[in-house]
Amino acid sequence: MVKIATVISFFFLGLSVLFLEEKSKKISLNSIEPNFRSEALDLNKNGDVDLGLDTIPDSRTLLMDSVLNYICLSKIVQKDIVMKQVIWETGWLKGEFLMSRNNLFGFRHKEYLRFSNWKESVDYYEKWQAKYYTNPEENYFDFLVRIRYSNSRYPGHLKSIKYSKTCADL
């Protein structure tokens, strides 16, 4: 009984080491079971099977899609630009300072506003935009600078963001 437990322990230890060594999210079935035949699975010539972990969206990607969807369902105009504002202000939703406040747009009145959830931040933006963006003929980038939401470099930053999803993609 002890020998079986030892063999099983070494087997799982070997798997652990294997997973630590594999940086490309692939495992080599040949190193686990030397007699394993590649006919059973569609393996590449190295005996590797792709687990597909790199195709699973992470939580940030899912959140990004949720934010875009919520913006698309709102009455916000210039939705693509507004989504790029979210990306710029929060650093691709990684910025701890604004994200901890659920403040996707960096809104502040003497200090940064806090929202109960990120949807409240989008709702606030929608009301803010409806109040201040009264001329739909005005270039939205010019509006952001004129209203002092940003400085003159801000439009260039937004234009440089490589984010291709739009409301039409949803």
Asked if the model's pLDDT at residue 107 lies above 60, the reply is yes
38: helix, strand or coil: coil
Q: Where are the domains of the chain?
A: 2-54, 59-169
Asked if the model's pLDDT at residue 44 lies above 80, the reply is no
pLDDT class of 25 with cuts at 50, 70, 90 = very low
Mean pLDDT of the 126-149 span: 96
pLDDT of residue 15: 41
Sequence-distant (≥ 6) Cβ neighbours of residue 56 within 8 angstroms: none
Asked if the model's pLDDT at residue 13 lies above 50, the reply is no
Category of 4 on φ-ψ map: left (φ > 0), alpha (ψ -120 to 50) or beta: alpha
Mean pLDDT of the 1-7 span: 45
> What is 59-169's CATH number?
1.10.530.10
DSSP state of 102: T
Amino acid code (one letter) for 92? W
Question: What H or E segment, with its residue span, contains residue 111?
Answer: strand 111-112
CA distance 112 to 117: 14
Cβ contact 111:101 at 8 Å? no
Mean pLDDT of the 132-158 span: 96
pLDDT of residue 58: 86
How many Å from the N-terminal Cα to the C-terminal Cα in the chain?
A: 57
Nearest of 164, 141, 163, 167 to residue 154 by alpha carbon: 141
Cα 64 to chain centroid distance, Å, stands at 5
Place of tokens 């709702």: 123
Dihedral, CA of residue 98, residue 100, residue 101 and residue 106, to nearest 10: 0
- In this structure, which long-range contacts are made by residues 54-58, counting pairs with CB atoms below 8 Å and at least 24 apart in sequence? 54/25
* Start-end of H helices in 74-117: 79-90, 96-99
pLDDT of residue 146: 96
Mean pLDDT, rounded, of the chain:
79
pLDDT class of 54 with cuts at 50, 70, 90 = low
